[in-house]
Every structure is written in C-alpha cells, then in structure tokens.
C-alpha cells in the first residue's frame, strides 16, 4: 500500500470506540503469569514479544503494528494539549442559545442578549470562569456540558476546514489505549518480563483512580471532586507532565516527552541520520588542492567502498586487479547476487561482464561533499576525491563561501562526506 497523504484530526469518542479492539476494565496486568483479558496487557493489543502471533490479526511481530483499545472515563476530563482550543470555543460561543461566532463574544451574546460568563486561562492546565457566582476554576465536566450544547451546523459555520468536528471532542470522555508495541515491557533475555514501560505505569495510575471513582457510591461532593481532581492530574501526567505547574522533574516520561525534541520520536528516531557510504569529520583548508578536489583522509578512503561494475571497458583492468589480489578490492558481487569476500577467494575467481567489485576509494572518484546547515543546494556539491594524510577533510579556500565554512574565526566546521 502506498501512502499519498496523512491527515491529522481530533478523534471523536465514537471513532475511538470504533478503532478500539477491546475495552480496558481492570487495573490488573497479569493473571497466573498470563496477560489478563481486559487489562493493559490484553493480548489483543498486539504481539508483546518477538515470538508468537497476534491474537487479533494472526500476524507476527514484524507484521502486526498493534491495535488500540479504549477506556471509558468516569467523567469528562481535559486534554492538556487542547486547553487553549477549549478556551477559544468557550469564548466564541453562547452557552444559552448555542450561537457560535468566529471571534470572542464578549460580555453579551448578540443573539439572545444574555450576559455571558468570562473565561480566562490561569495556567496551562486551569481555566477560570467568572459569572454571578464569582471567579472559580472551570471543571472539565462543566466545560464539556457547555461545548456539547453547540450545534454542529453552528460549529461548521466558523471553521475553514470542513471535516467533521465537534468542540466537545476536545474534552476527553474516552481514553484511547495505545498498543503493546508502543509500550513494550522491558524484558530479560527476550522472554522474562522485568517491570513495565513508563506509559503503561502512567496508564495504570489513571486506571486505579478511575476505577475506584467508578466503584465508589459515596455521594459526598467533596470526596467526588477530590477524586476527579486526582484523576485529572493523572491524565495530565500521562499526556504531558511538563505542563503541570510546579511539578518536579519526574523519572517517568509522559507521551509528549517521547515525541518532542532532539531525542524525541520525530527528530531522534524518524528523521535522517548518518547513513552508509558516508563519513564525517572536521574540515580544514588546503591551498594546494584544486577547487574541484576534496582532500579525504586515508583512514576514510580505506573504509568507504565504491562499487565498480565490470563491463567491456573495465574488464581487463578489474580482472588484473582481482587476479593480482589487489588490496584495494574488498568484495566481488556476482550477477546472481552472491557476495564474495576477497580474503577468502584469494583471487581465484572467473570474472564476467555484469559482475561488480567493491573497492576502496581512490584519487579521482566523484564524491558528494556537504556541510551543515544545508541551506541551499550549494551546501552539497560534487568533488573529486584526493587521498591525503591527516584526519580532516581538506578543501580549497575558494570553496568556503558556498558551504559557508570559514577557517578564519574557528577551524572547526564539520564536513559530512558521502558517496
């Protein structure tokens, strides 16, 4: 399957239930050493280890990308990432007649002439409401009820993007539970489970509070609001604990911390890294080099290999190199795909047109030379390699401008070199 676009959307509670493969109903993980059904380690979440097949889709560890589950929250709760959106919708709508505008309504609704409460953001996790009863924090339950009153036609009227959306979806009522592979249990020798992943532990904490809140029959409003606050806090700690005011650096990571930043999933794990057939070291200047040349340290040249194909023109030259057991030739690649190590074949090989050799870099080989930041196309240019002693890449001083490399202030520009 080819991916031609990715769309980002807010999941509706109905959609969360639709994509869910199972509902989490217990905070117990294991039962008699086996993952418990309806727990956070339910086998339907996907393959837990490298062995076995997924009970949900019957695929192996490398094929199954896991399955989402869901958990029904005992009451609506804020999602830290959407606090400002919630605030915007509250300020732009009338909770009496359901009128929605594309700008803040102010003190009075122009539609029904009723005076509206005033909403302010206190910090990243708290919204304050000011009405006849005075100033108080607005609980997610109340915000959810206000947003729920808005009609979908009114909502679509002010939105540029016409996909299906309702502001009440910004408040969590159902919690999607990520698959097993998102939060694999740390194992010892592949099989033995040793503890749990941070995400699982955070979810477990949410579950414990939520389940005890569900089971309590206490009608005491103080007790209920206290447990609601604890649950809200647990959800924040799960999604993004950095937004919590005055929260000391916790040892466990929340979801957002996994994604954000240099070490995060996007910049750290998914974006391009150094790859094969490249080398990286400091660059220095060399006035004796031609402008078209780049000086390559011998150490680099002997490690990097270049594929040279055997054809009518190169046959004699390559054959002679192979038979003479030239140290520059490392591997022979046969037409049928086999790869022969020169150390083992000892030159006893019948070369054919269509084969290829892997040899080390030599003078005159075209190479690509790059210096970050690659701001324009001249940040990557083709040069001819020139093998030199020393450990730095050398370039003629006339080439410094396009690479924005200067040796005048400091001699420590970094050059990445690749073939």
C-alpha to C-alpha distance for 162 and 158, rounded to whole angstroms? 10
Closest to Zn ion by CB, 43 or 297: 43
Scanning 18-26, 45-53, 264-272, 345-353 for contacts with Zn ion by CB under 5 A, the matching segment is 45-53
Site for Zn ion in 62-81 (CB under 5 A): 64
Scanning 11-19, 55-63, 295-303, 403-411 for contacts with Zn ion by CB under 5 A, the matching segment is 55-63
C-alpha to C-alpha distance for 326 and 347, rounded to whole angstroms? 9
Site for Zn ion in 95-154 (CB under 5 A): 96-97, 99, 109, 111-112
CB of residue 179 to Zn ion, shortest distance in Å: 8
The dihedral formed by the CA atoms of 158, 164, 167 and 168, expressed in degrees to the nearest 10: 150
Q: Do the Cβ atoms of 347 and 322 come closer than 8 Å?
A: yes
CA 193 to chain centre: 25
- Looking at 94, 150, 207, 231, which residue binds Zn ion (CB under 5 A)? 94
Q: Alpha helix locations (H) across 216-366?
A: 221-240, 255-259, 298-303, 315-323, 342-345
Scanning 6-14, 93-101, 177-185, 312-320 for contacts with Zn ion by CB under 5 A, the matching segment is 93-101
Q: Can you say whether residue 390 is alpha, beta or left, with left for phi > 0 and alpha for psi between -120 and 50 degrees?
A: left
CB of residue 64 to Zn ion, shortest distance in Å: 3
Residue 92 touching Zn ion (CB under 5 A) = no
Residue 351 touching Zn ion (CB under 5 A) = no
CB of residue 54 to Zn ion, shortest distance in Å: 3
Closest to Zn ion by CB, 57 or 204: 57
Residue 56 touching Zn ion (CB under 5 A) = yes
CA 74 to chain centre: 30
CB of residue 146 to Zn ion, shortest distance in Å: 12
Residue 48 touching Zn ion (CB under 5 A) = no
* Number of residues forming the site for Zn ion (CB under 5 A): 12
Which segments within 39-144 are labelled E, that is strand?
A: 69-78, 118-123, 126-131, 134-137
Residue 182 touching Zn ion (CB under 5 A) = no
The dihedral formed by the CA atoms of 316, 319, 325 and 330, expressed in degrees to the nearest 10: 110
How crowded is the C-beta side of 101, counted as CA atoms within 13 Å?
14
Which segments within 273-419 are labelled E, that is strand?
A: 278-285, 293-297, 305-309, 329-333, 339-341, 356-360, 366-371, 380-388, 393-395, 414-418
CB of residue 22 to Zn ion, shortest distance in Å: 12
Scanning 48-56, 166-174, 176-184, 193-201 for contacts with Zn ion by CB under 5 A, the matching segment is 48-56
CB of residue 93 to Zn ion, shortest distance in Å: 8
**Of residues 151, 139, 145, 140, the one with CA closest to residue 97:** 151
CB of residue 269 to Zn ion, shortest distance in Å: 22
CB of residue 100 to Zn ion, shortest distance in Å: 10
Closest to Zn ion by CB, 13 or 66: 66
Closest to Zn ion by CB, 146 or 301: 146
Residue 61 touching Zn ion (CB under 5 A) = no
CB of residue 186 to Zn ion, shortest distance in Å: 21
Tokens 């339907």 belong to residue: 44
Q: Do the Cβ atoms of 371 and 415 come closer than 8 Å?
A: yes
- Looking at 10, 25, 57, 141, which residue binds Zn ion (CB under 5 A)? 57
Site for Zn ion in 371-390 (CB under 5 A): none
**411 Cβ contact list (under 8 Å, min separation 6):** 282, 284
CB of residue 323 to Zn ion, shortest distance in Å: 54
C-alpha to C-alpha distance for 264 and 253, rounded to whole angstroms? 11
Structure tokens at 116: 């509206």
Q: Which residues bind Zn ion (CB under 5 A)?
A: 46, 54, 56-57, 64, 94, 96-97, 99, 109, 111-112
């Amino acid at each position: 399957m080819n991916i031609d676009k990715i769309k980002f959307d807010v999941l509706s509670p109905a959609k969360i239930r639709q994509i869910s493969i199972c509902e989490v109903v217990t905070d117990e993980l294991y039962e008699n050493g086996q993952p418990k059904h309806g727990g956070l380690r339910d086998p339907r979440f996907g393959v837990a280890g490298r062995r076995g097949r997924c009970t949900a889709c019957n695929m192996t560890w490398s094929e199954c990308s896991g399955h989402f589950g869901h958990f029904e929250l005992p009451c609506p709760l804020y999602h830290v990432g959407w606090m400002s959106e919630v605030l915007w919708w509250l300020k732009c709508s009338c909770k009496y007649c359901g009128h929605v505008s594309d700008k803040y309504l102010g003190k009075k609704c122009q539609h029904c002439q009723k005076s509206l409460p005033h909403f302010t953001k206190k910090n990243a996790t708290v919204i304050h409401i000011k009405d006849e009863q005075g100033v108080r924090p607005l609980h997610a339950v109340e915000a959810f009820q206000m947003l729920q009153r808005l009609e979908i036609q009114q909502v679509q009227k002010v939105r540029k993007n016409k996909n299906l959306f309702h502001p009440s979806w910004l408040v969590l009522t159902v919690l999607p539970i990520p698959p097993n592979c998102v939060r694999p249990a740390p194992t010892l020798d592949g099989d033995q489970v040793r503890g749990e992943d941070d995400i699982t532990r955070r979810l477990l904490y949410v579950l414990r509070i939520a389940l005890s809140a569900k089971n309590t029959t206490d009608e005491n409003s103080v007790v209920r609001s206290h447990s609601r606050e604890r649950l809200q806090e647990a959800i924040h700690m799960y999604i993004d604990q950095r937004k919590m005011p005055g929260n000391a650096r916790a040892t466990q990571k929340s979801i957002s911390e996994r994604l954000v930043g240099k070490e995060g999933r996007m910049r750290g794990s998914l974006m391009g890294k150094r790859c094969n057939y490249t080398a990286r070291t400091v660059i220095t200047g060399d006035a004796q080099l031609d402008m078209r040349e780049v000086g390559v340290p011998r150490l680099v040249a002997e490690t990097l290999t270049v594929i040279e194909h055997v054809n009518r023109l190169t046959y004699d030259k390559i054959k002679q190199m192979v038979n003479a057991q030239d140290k520059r030739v490392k591997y022979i690649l046969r037409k049928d795909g086999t790869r022969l190590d020169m150390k083992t074949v000892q030159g006893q090989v019948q070369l054919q047109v269509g084969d290829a050799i892997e040899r080390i870099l030599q003078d005159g080989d075209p190479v690509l030379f790059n210096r970050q930041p690659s701001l324009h196309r001249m940040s990557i240019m083709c040069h001819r390699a020139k093998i030199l002693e020393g450990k730095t890449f050398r370039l003629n001083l006339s080439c410094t401008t396009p690479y924005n490399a200067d040796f005048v202030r400091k001699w420590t520009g970094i050059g990445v070199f690749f073939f």
